[in-house]
Amino acid sequence: ALNKILKDVVTKSQQMLGFDSNYVPGWDCHGLPIEWKIEEENYRAKGKTKPDFRDSGAMVAFRKECRAYAGHWLNVQREEFKRLGIIGDWDHPYATMDYFAEAQIARELMKFAANGTLYRGSKPVMWSVVEKTALAEAEVEYEDYTSDTVWVKFPVSGYADRAENTSVMPGLDPGIHDLLNVDVDGRDKPGHDGKLSIVIWTTTPWTLPGNRAISFSSKIVYGLYRVTDSPADNWAKTGALLILADALAESVLKQARVAGYERLGEVPAAALATMECAHPLAGLSGGYEFRVPVLEGEHVTDDTGTGFVHTAPGHGREDFDVWTANARALEARGINTAIPYTVDENGAFTDQAPGFTGKRVINDKGEKGDANDAVIKALIETGMLLARSRLKHQYPHSWRSKKPVIFRNTPQWFIAMDKEIADHGKAKPGDTLRARALRAISVTQWVPQSGENRINGMINSKPDWVISRQRAWGVPIAVFIRENKDGSAEILQDDAVNKRIAEAFEQEGADAWYMDGARERFLGSLANEKWKKIDDICDVWFDSGSTHAFVLEDPVHFPGLAGIKRKVDGGNDTVMYLEGSDQHRGWFQSSLLESCGTRGRAPFDVVLTHGFTLDENGRKMSKSIGNTVEPQKVMAQSGADILRLWVCATDYADDQRIGPEILKNTIETYRKLRNSVRWMLGTLHHFKPDDAIAHADMPELERLMLHQLAAQAEIVRKAYTEYDYKTVVASLSAFMNSELSAFYFDIRKDTLYCDPPSSLARKAALTAIDIICDAILKWFAPVLSFTCDEAWRLYKPDAEPSVHLTLLPEGLEQFRYDTLAAKWETIREVRRVVTGALEVERAAKRIGSSLEASPLVYVSDKKIFDTLFDIDLAEVCITSNAMASNADAPADAFRLNEVPGVAVVVEKAVGTKCARSWKILPTVGSDPEFPDVSPRDAQALREWKTLGISV
């Protein structure tokens, strides 16, 4: 609701600012959540086996089930969004599962293949050995599991970027300088005899053949420790130098059965960041003779372990992220950043884990294999094992097989961030996807501004973009490849093949890729060559990132956007993307990268982000806690405008809180606004435009209110232009409650109810209220869509059929009366003193209504006194009579410290109470035709009688 309401307020307010504003609703339809629902409802709940997707018929049938499910909920949500008052092209929404959309997504992918940035690489995924399939986070449960744990030494072999015989680190503690200053040549000799080591701890010893780095944290304090006493047969030898986190050193050395040790000094993060180690399996069967860099990682803590994390990029997401984030710098140091495939789909070591080929991490029954024991034995042989143990902890299991899963490196498809883009077969120096995206960010408007820094940082550090998934429901990676001898993949570049694929998707959807004979159908005459069809699907973010390619560029399916020409293309149109702040990592980023890679620029001109909905106590909403607020229930109980007002009354850039008390306050705010509108509509019921009075001929009070209206016009227009909706609500609410209801309307009720219809003051008041009502309904229309539209039809039944078809009021600047406004600031200060005095009298029960009073206002300041000369104080103060005097005020007169020079004595009004106005006046009864009212009211009654109206 929050998201859709904000989009609608943008659309309506921009439309009323004079722009042709279009909202294209859309749905991302592919992905795991729908697969999960189909498996849950159509298979597990019915005791059926999940389809074997190697069977093309089963794959296509499953995809059709997913399509039907997505289509059902698309229609349900569409009706719910309409109920919120969302104006959009609901007859032409986009859905990424539309055939034409799937075809265009495939075309977009082909563009990356053509410009040379699409390539096959690898990434770790959670893998079920029992089921032979990758698992998503939602398919994993955490259960108790007992793991082998090991503490392992990584010998420090050298320092990066350090010439021989130079200092390890300027300013380093002299006491440990020489100990850390290992022979630089040692880094080329893994397994050297040096005693200095970094110690890691892991619960997965089998991942050590895949180790390529060690991670540390600059937030942790590390020390250099020397073993001074250790049993002769111990793995921890006397004299060994170990680098450990200070917070964990004692527990590590105790586990290693060290009898004595000393801390020699601190090892600063700057020194760690340049260290390189030898692999602990170096010298064993070959294959581990490479440098192991020490890298900073945000995931490293000193809660458990050693303060260092063994980093195997093929066996963990955080490991992969740290490794790929540092890939460019590591390559510059001559370190190979290729991620090995150490474990196959059967859970067995491959020949890329030398010395362990064939050993099983997990067997086909889901039981622990012999890999851990083999690795631990090898560590003992190399002398790198410091300690070992066992640990019972929570470990990921497949929700289906209930067996443990592993992280393993798998082939994935990437789009390169730093490879020069070969548009039309020719690359320009420095023209990379990262460079294009950073340029595009700088020319985009970000609301709030902080969004620019956020996404800029993400793009700056983003590794190559992973766009593949091993799932069933999505747009396929519609390419053919040929395996090269070096393990790389050559992508087929053939326009005729690509055309056949896209045309088939247009007519049949992406299911065509999975049908029998698809390879031969699309390859045509190339079918006899060794081209392999890729059956992975595009990540859903690539889907959503491609939406601009069909929404903004397909006038056939999106007629409302036909002829759009953005400012970047020399036109006048602006494209806005609006979503939650999490989409800096999601849709905003994928759209930016997709468009920059294929068009050289961002698909948007403005990006607006909002926070998320929390409960009244700032907690995330959860059904288990029972703190959820369902939009449908709020609408059923209070109406959609309550939700709309809640959204716009708060700062959407932050997380927004909602709950019973907050909604209660919102309803009260709405009630006051609605009552003011109802009062204006009732007051204007008999108003005729022919009776309107020119503003220059109006009394001062009306001109003052129009002046304030002009000030509101400036505030509201600026706020809508800047998407600052909380200012719209706050400013208009204060104006309506304080300036209109509590001040102007209160004063003018007597004139409106009791003056003759011919009265200039009454006509002027009605004219002013007409102008005010027109402005208020238009200003609030984007926020209170239903209320303002309902009121508009009552207010102007013969005008535009909807307030949303009008423009925000213009020309109100003609009502600026700055000098008059300054004068009335003084008058209202005097009124405050009178009101205070009346409250004292009312509290003492000397008066009831203010109309029972006749205040005497003493003004010692001549300037203030002169200001009151032509003002009807009784009217302004809503009393029966009032008088100003420049005489000295009695000592007991009422005063306010903040209004010096003004004092008030409240006297009882003299005369008879008018039956019509309730004023107490000496003139009541002077008109024999109407003996119980004042002369003014008598004249009013005569005029209404002449008009045939009974009042």
Q: How does DSSP assign 702-764, residue by residue? A: HHHHHHHHHHHHHHHHHHHHTT-HHHHHHHHHHIIIIIIIIIIIHHHHHHHHHS-TT-HHHHH
- The arithmetic mean of pLDDT across residues 243-267, rounded, is 96
Confidence of residue 749 (pLDDT cuts 50, 70, 90): very high
**pLDDT at site 623:** 66
What does the alpha-carbon distance between residue 204 and residue 655 come to, in Å, rounded to a whole number? Answer: 39
CATH of the domain at 427: 3.40.50.620
How far is residue 221 from each of residues 300, 308, 739, measured CA to CA in Å? 12, 11, 61
Extended strands (E) in 267-405: 275-278, 291-296, 309-311, 385-398
Is the per-residue pLDDT at 185 higher than 80? no
Task: Single out the residue in 815, 832, 862 at which a domain terminates.
Answer: 815
pLDDT digits (tens, 9 = 90+) for 203-235: 999 999 999 999 999 999 999 999 999 998 999
E strand or H helix at 243: strand 241-245
**pLDDT at site 281:** 96
E strand or H helix at 284: none
- Asked if the structure places residue 576 within a domain, the reply is yes
To 10 degrees, the CA torsion angle through 302, 214, 166, 177? 30
H, E, C per residue of 513-574: HHCCCHHHHHHHHHCCCCCEECCCEECHHHHHHCHHHHHCCCCCCCHHHCCCCEHHHCCCEC
Is the per-residue pLDDT at 666 higher than 90? yes
Token pair listed for 682:
């009732």
How far is residue 438 from each of residues 417, 432, 600, 891, 944, measured CA to CA in Å? 11, 10, 11, 73, 72
- Asked if the structure places residue 231 within a domain, the reply is yes
Residue among 918, 947, 779, 949 at smallest CA distance from 848: 918
Q: Are strands 196-202 and 241-245 parallel, antiparallel or unpaired?
A: parallel
What letter represents residue 191's amino acid?
G
Residues 692 and 727 in one domain: yes
The burial of 548, by beta-carbon neighbours within 10 Å (0-12 exposed, 13-18 middle, 19 or more buried), is given as buried
- % the chain with pLDDT above 90: 77
232 vs 704, more confident: 704
pLDDT digits (tens, 9 = 90+) for 475-492: 999 999 998 877 778 999
Residues 336 and 211 in one domain: yes
β-bridge partners, 295: 215
**pLDDT at site 52:** 85
Is the per-residue pLDDT at 854 higher than 60? yes
Residues 108 and 208 in one domain: no
**Is the C-alpha dihedral spanning 794, 798, 800, 802 positive or negative?**
positive
How far is residue 834 from each of residues 77, 195, 508, 782, 900, measured CA to CA in Å? 56, 90, 80, 39, 13
pLDDT digits (tens, 9 = 90+) for 509-537: 999 999 999 999 999 999 999 999 999 99
Is the per-residue pLDDT at 167 higher than 90? no
Extended strands (E) in 305-444: 309-311, 385-398, 406-415, 420-423, 426-432
Residues 540 and 594 in one domain: yes
- Asked if the structure places residue 14 within a domain, the reply is no
- Asked if the structure places residue 627 within a domain, the reply is no
CATH of the domain at 868: 3.30.2320.20
Residues 727 and 853 in one domain: no
What's the DSSP call for residue 42? I
Task: Single out the residue in 815, 831, 849 at which a domain terminates.
Answer: 815
E strand or H helix at 501: helix 495-508
Supply the mean pLDDT for the chain. 92
Whether the CB-CB separation of 349 and 357 falls below 8 Å is answered with yes
φ, ψ (nearest 5 deg) of residue 103: -65, -40
Whether the CB-CB separation of 191 and 382 falls below 8 Å is answered with yes
**pLDDT at site 45:** 87
**Is the C-alpha dihedral spanning 667, 672, 674, 675 positive or negative?**
positive
Residues 353 and 214 in one domain: yes
What does the alpha-carbon distance between residue 594 and residue 615 come to, in Å, rounded to a whole number? Answer: 36
How far is residue 817 from each of residues 453, 717, 764, 813, measured CA to CA in Å? 43, 19, 16, 9
Token pair listed for 51:
């389809």
116 contacts: CB under 8 Å, gap ≥ 6: 419, 421, 422, 427
Is the per-residue pLDDT at 166 higher than 60? no
- % the chain with pLDDT above 70: 96
Residues 603 and 703 in one domain: no
Is the per-residue pLDDT at 169 higher than 90? no
Is the per-residue pLDDT at 188 higher than 70? no
Task: Give, to the nearest 10 degrees, the angle between helix 746-754 and helix 760-780.
Answer: 130
The helix/strand/coil state of 74 is helix
- Asked if the structure places residue 935 within a domain, the reply is no
- Asked if the structure places residue 344 within a domain, the reply is yes
- pTM metric for this prediction: 0.78
Token pair listed for 477:
């990676």
Q: Could you tell me the residue range of the domain that residue 764 belongs to?
A: 632-646+658-815
- The arithmetic mean of pLDDT across residues 717-731, rounded, is 97
The number of helices, as runs of H, and strands, as runs of E, in the chain is 29, 34
What does the alpha-carbon distance between residue 577 and residue 588 come to, in Å, rounded to a whole number? Answer: 7
What does the alpha-carbon distance between residue 504 and residue 844 come to, in Å, rounded to a whole number? Answer: 88
**pLDDT at site 470:** 85
- Asked if the structure places residue 593 within a domain, the reply is yes
The helix/strand/coil state of 28 is coil
Residues 734 and 677 in one domain: yes
**Is the C-alpha dihedral spanning 57, 58, 59, 60 positive or negative?**
positive
Give how many domains the chain has, as a whole number.
Answer: 4
Residues 799 and 857 in one domain: no
Q: What is the CA radius of gyration of the chain?
A: 39
pLDDT digits (tens, 9 = 90+) for 815-824: 999 999 999 9
**pLDDT at site 656:** 85
Is the per-residue pLDDT at 178 higher than 80? no
Is the per-residue pLDDT at 450 higher than 50? yes
What does the alpha-carbon distance between residue 265 and residue 276 come to, in Å, rounded to a whole number? Answer: 20
Is the per-residue pLDDT at 190 higher than 80? no
Residues 605 and 680 in one domain: no
CATH of the domain at 686: 1.10.730.20
Confidence of residue 138 (pLDDT cuts 50, 70, 90): low
β-bridge partners, 913: 920
What's the DSSP call for residue 43? I
Confidence of residue 177 (pLDDT cuts 50, 70, 90): low
Token pair listed for 505:
């998707």
- Asked if the structure places residue 934 within a domain, the reply is no
What does the alpha-carbon distance between residue 458 and residue 608 come to, in Å, rounded to a whole number? Answer: 17
Residues 438 and 322 in one domain: no
Residues 163 and 76 in one domain: no
